[in-house]
Amino acid sequence: MTSVEINAPLITISYSLSVLPNLSDLLGVAVKFRWIIPDGESYGGMVAWGNQPAALFASAFVKRHQSGLLRLDDGFLRSVDRTEPPLSIVVDDLGMYYDATRPSRLEALIAGACSKAQQSRAQALMAAWRTARVSKYNHTREYAAELPARYVLVVDEAPGCHSIRYGLADKAVFQAMLEAALQENPHCTVLIKAYSERRRRGHFDSDALAANPRIRVLADDLHPVSVIEHAEAVYCVTSQLGFEGLLWGKRVRTFGMPFYAGWGLTHDELPAPERRLPVPLENLVYAALVEYARYIDPETKKPCEPERLIEWMGLQRRMRERFPRTVYAQGFSTYKKSIVRRFFQGSTVLFDQHPAQMSEGATCVVWSRKDPGPMPANDVSKGGNPQIVRLEDGFIRSVGLGADLVRPLSWAMDTRGIYYDATAPSDLEHILLYTCFDDELTHRAELLRERLVAQALTKYNVGTASWRRPDRACLSESDKTKPVILVPGQVESDASLAFGAPGIRRNLDLLKAVREANPQAYIVYKPHPDVVAGLRNKGQGEDDATRWCDEIVVDVALGKMLSEVDEVHVLTSLTGFEALLRGKQVVCYGLPFYAGWGLTQDVLPIARRTRRLMLDELVAGVLILYPTYISRTTDRYTTPERALDELLAWRDSNAVTLPWWRKGLRRLLKMEMRFKQGIARWFTK
């Protein structure tokens, strides 16, 4: 038995269905809205949504035109938020999976033979589902309160839901289900997961149940995995949570006839239809998740397998659970506020709150090393220690400068300090000191590094001019052995110099030190791109740089330039890390995050960094484990590998020159910088 094959465009009499995002990609064919079919138009059948009233009109339409009808509905792993278009649907040419009154394509698939390979895949899918902690919808948070030592879960459902009626049940069975849960589990608390969507009440009266000490109602909209995981049994009428209970290996009691009941896998109150005979759990899982449902990759918009969507959903869940429900952000510009919300999706972000408005033990978000300001008084005995999360640009950022207000692909989100501050520990330093870098992780880092180098990608990916090292054919024999050293300039007011360069802090002083240590070298100085763009001030005395170097390069793509030099000498510039990726010798005159691990030549010691790392261990910590990446395609969390895909597409589509609106913005930023300089000079007179 195989799933439904679709080889020609489909029609629908529902306009809203015809414009449903992702639908054509999920089906693999176009879906056209038609009330009347023109003569000669070829189509493969009609589609309708489930057993909705519009499907009745579609059935009549199909009979009149003697064509087939495909019923669609949300898949069992649908989306992050229920308000979003589905990333998975089911397609049924016989009925609908929740309609036990007649056969469905899913029933036929479950009853079919399942090979050993398919059974193994089903087992792996169940393990992946549990590891990723996914459900049909994935926007809600894990249940944070303490659960009873022993409990069973009773699942409420939406009143009037089609799955109840077509699952051979009615509202009266919900009370019978609750009574059975109490009687069959005398030593357990009964947790009721109440229905609370759109402020509609479910089948249980929470106030009336409050008098029973054995019953606890969970009225909050919570992620169901939290309570399924430790339940001794799951009681449901037709809810999908019964199916998810099976995926978690739980005893499941049904009081309707959902698609997963009647196969000998659940304890059913109703007799099973004769067409449903006992099967292994793997048959049910493989049929439902692999054969019956269709999936789309949210990032590529191409069809994918359930494993890919589970992996992506699992990433969203992990990232959304890192911070509390509410975080407080202080001192962000209007431009950055929307980006902060994007990087803290899963939490509500409140900006610029007075300390009195913050909750006990508040999590406060600030940019870089900024002072968060007054914090609320905290009772340590109640776990009231505040948490500061410091944000900074990531290491694979954008095509364009942060000073130009180009939206970032990645940020560092640090709860201990910030990566460039060598005066105190940071999350990155903790990762590099204590992570066990296994073979899988380091191999992933190796592939990432090789791809970065091959594509000449860097943090900002700006610069259009080319540069080549001096032609050795034109040099004397003694000059041919001279190393070519790149010295990258930095913005001298940058915090990374204030907190990571206890000795030399000026670009000119760095050039002098490099020249004194390497009198015979060919030294190339590259000013910081923000300075070149006129968005930041030149370093003190930087106009005299030509006295200490052989060449100054400006509008050159750094990724390509690094392949032409032998060494890179830095204060704290990220260019040093990018040079390490390319196997270059790096000399550090400051204390950047990549120094002190045995991979660089360090002028200054860093006592805290006692571990020696391999290059790909450093890459794994810096590019995989530490930053947070947000996709430009989905606005959701993503991986560094996908960030590279999007960065390449961004770079390839980017115009050589700035668009008119970016040029105008740059002029405004320059005017703002000059105004601030004028004010500063006026006050220093």
Mean pLDDT across 411-425: 96
pLDDT score recorded for residue 474: 55
Three-state secondary structure string covering 473-501: HHCCCCHHHCCEEEEECCCCCCHHHHHHC
Strands (E), 255-394: 267-268, 293-296, 303-304, 326-329, 348-351, 363-367, 387-393
Final residue belonging to a domain, choices 282, 313, 344:
313
* Percent of the chain with pLDDT strictly greater than 90: 67
Residue ranges making up the domain that contains 337: 328-393
Three-state secondary structure string covering 523-555: EEEECCHHHHCCCCCCCCCHHHHHHCCCEECCC
Same domain, 191 and 234: yes
Please check whether residue 423 lies inside any domain of the structure.
no
Residue 228 identity: I
pLDDT score recorded for residue 84: 94
Does residue 26 contact residue 296 with C-beta atoms inside 8 Å?
A: yes
Res. 378: pLDDT tops 60: no
Bridge partners of 293, per DSSP, are 90
- Mind listing the pLDDT tens digit for each residue in 506-541? 999 999 999 999 999 999 999 988 787 777 788 888
Comparing 34-43, 318-327, 491-500, the range with the smallest average pLDDT is: 34-43
Same domain, 347 and 236: no
Strands (E), 113-272: 151-155, 189-193, 215-218, 233-236, 251-254, 267-268
* Percent of the chain with pLDDT strictly greater than 70: 88
Mean pLDDT across 223-245: 97
Mean pLDDT across 250-259: 98
Please check whether residue 404 lies inside any domain of the structure.
no
Q: Tokens standing for 100?
A: 């036990």
pLDDT score recorded for residue 512: 96
CB burial readout 170-181, b (16+ within 10 A) else e:
eeebbeebbebb
Same domain, 500 and 636: yes
Please check whether residue 427 lies inside any domain of the structure.
no
Same domain, 491 and 539: yes
Same domain, 82 and 159: no
Three-state SS for 33?
strand
How does residue 131 score in pLDDT terms, banded at 50, 70 and 90?
very high
Three-state SS for 344?
coil
Write the DSSP symbol of residue 102.
S
Please check whether residue 414 lies inside any domain of the structure.
no
CA separation for the pair 306, 290 (Å, rounded): 7
CATH number, domain of 277, equals 3.40.50
Q: pLDDT: is 447 or 676 the higher one?
A: 447
Same domain, 358 and 477: no
Same domain, 143 and 119: yes
Does residue 424 contact residue 369 with C-beta atoms inside 8 Å?
A: no
Please check whether residue 576 lies inside any domain of the structure.
yes
Please check whether residue 194 lies inside any domain of the structure.
yes
Same domain, 253 and 384: no
Bridge partners of 486, per DSSP, are 524, 568
pLDDT score recorded for residue 380: 42
Same domain, 145 and 158: yes
CA separation for the pair 190, 106 (Å, rounded): 32
- Mind listing the pLDDT tens digit for each residue in 313-350? 999 999 999 999 999 999 999 989 999 999 999 999 99
- Mind listing the pLDDT tens digit for each residue in 619-650? 999 999 999 999 999 999 999 999 999 988 88
Same domain, 92 and 192: no
Torsion of CA 304, 306, 308, 310, to 10 degrees: 150
CA separation for the pair 595, 571 (Å, rounded): 10
Final residue belonging to a domain, choices 110, 139, 174:
110
pLDDT score recorded for residue 381: 42
Bridge partners of 33, per DSSP, are 12
Same domain, 536 and 605: yes
Please check whether residue 632 lies inside any domain of the structure.
yes
**How many domains would you assign to the chain?**
5
pLDDT score recorded for residue 637: 98
Please check whether residue 411 lies inside any domain of the structure.
no
How does residue 598 score in pLDDT terms, banded at 50, 70 and 90?
very high
Same domain, 453 and 599: yes
Final residue belonging to a domain, choices 110, 141, 156:
110
How does residue 382 score in pLDDT terms, banded at 50, 70 and 90?
very low
